Structure 1
Amino acid sequence: MNAFRTTRWSLIAAARDSPSRAQAALDQLCQAYRPPVLAFIRHSGYGNDAEDLTQAFFLRFIERGWYAEADPQRGSFRALMLTALRRFLSDQYERAGALKRGGRTVESGSLLEVIASDGQSPEDAFMRAWMGTVLEHAMQRLEEEWSSAGKLDQFRQLAPLLLERAEGDELRAIAVANGLRTNTLAVQTHRMRQRLRQLVRLELLQTVGSPEALERELAELRGALDEMT
């Protein structure tokens, strides 16, 4: 576990072992993984209450100790979050049913309403947002590296090329703007793309327990993406 002292798992350990550090751990987890949690809740049919439920989920994740038996050697942080989310929404649904049985009115926005119009399941929405979050974190790290090298402006011009291939005219225009030959720019962009892949792997490594688990996680993410496309 030494290699994972600064990972998402270490935040969970901090909350588990030191109640005084639980809020700081919660804040970091909420900031890092709020988008996929919010996506899952919204696509589970919760409309106006989705934002509040997202915050409530993270609070309960820490306060109820759902992470207590979590072990990075037995699964990914993503799987842990998804299991906890299902449990949380199940509790919400049962609570809403109890209120209705008790003759009390439940606000229309707090129960299962209309599933989001894009037709994604909660799991698909969570997976897309999770992958987007991982990529965003990796891009932020790549930007920091280029900024430290005094090349922030160049990074901002080249960053769009990492995700979408540029046409010849566009590539030449960017090359001219940076005082580079088109071939040189293409090589540089290729190297940036390779570095981004490395940073994505490092980001995911924070959420699993071993290099072997990382490969399984990558395979599962690729498979899920193939099914959604």
Structure 2
Amino acid sequence: MLDDDGYFGESVAATYDQAEADMFRPEAVDPAVDLLAELAGDGPALEFGIGTGRIALPLSGRGIAVHGIDMSRAMVARLRAKPGGDGIGVTIGDFATARADGSYTVAYLVFNTINNLTTQDAQVACFRNAAAHLRPGGCFVVEVGVPELRRLPPNQTAVPFRIGPKQWAFDTYDVATQAMSSHYVTIVDGRAEYTSTPFRYVWPAELDLMAQLAGLRLRDRWEDWSRAPFTGESGRHVSVWCKPAD
């Protein structure tokens, strides 16, 4: 059952940093912060889906003023409890439509968070919202995986991505609607607990069209934050769209 924080309420927030510990390692965080700080320059940055501050806190530590938009009060409470967290402003709301005060030199969405918007209309609105927050010449950055449909043989809809002694996790895909869900079976005190979160997968070319509808133009696309070339074999991408300077 959903609470007021959607799928990222207290039960998820309480263990999020531990569950995603690999994404908090310096080798995962530092390249992202390096690129975002470069794009921000002297201006402020806006994070859509700021969560517990995995990127926002170290970016703020570089001297960049950071503001966030997030629906989950439980996740933001974890951000607030961390050193420096009380210095980051957060607007509570849906990042597809919620407005933050001010204008920004960079807005960004990391770690597949664009897929949390489960309709194409909401994803299009997100790009328009980002563009509305950007200063002329500002950039919108999205990190997201490339759909793994090549791993699906005929008549199969599920792809496992985590198998361990106490947790099994897999994604399911509906190729007709681009709906997907991540499913987790976790052993807790000898009992199995099941959770599921819905997403909508999206293709790079589809994102480019969303950006175009919002008045943004693709500037760069890499495989990762270290700016490795994006190819047909890349499993994810970091894309940068910019608002015209004039």
- Structure with greater strand percent: 2
User: TM above 0.5, one fold?
Assistant: no
Query: Which fold has the larger relative contact order, with Cα–Cα distance below 8 Å and residues 6 or more apart in sequence?
Result: 1
Q: Which has the higher helix share?
A: 1
Question: What TM-score does the superposition give when structure 2 sets the normalisation length?
Answer: 0.27
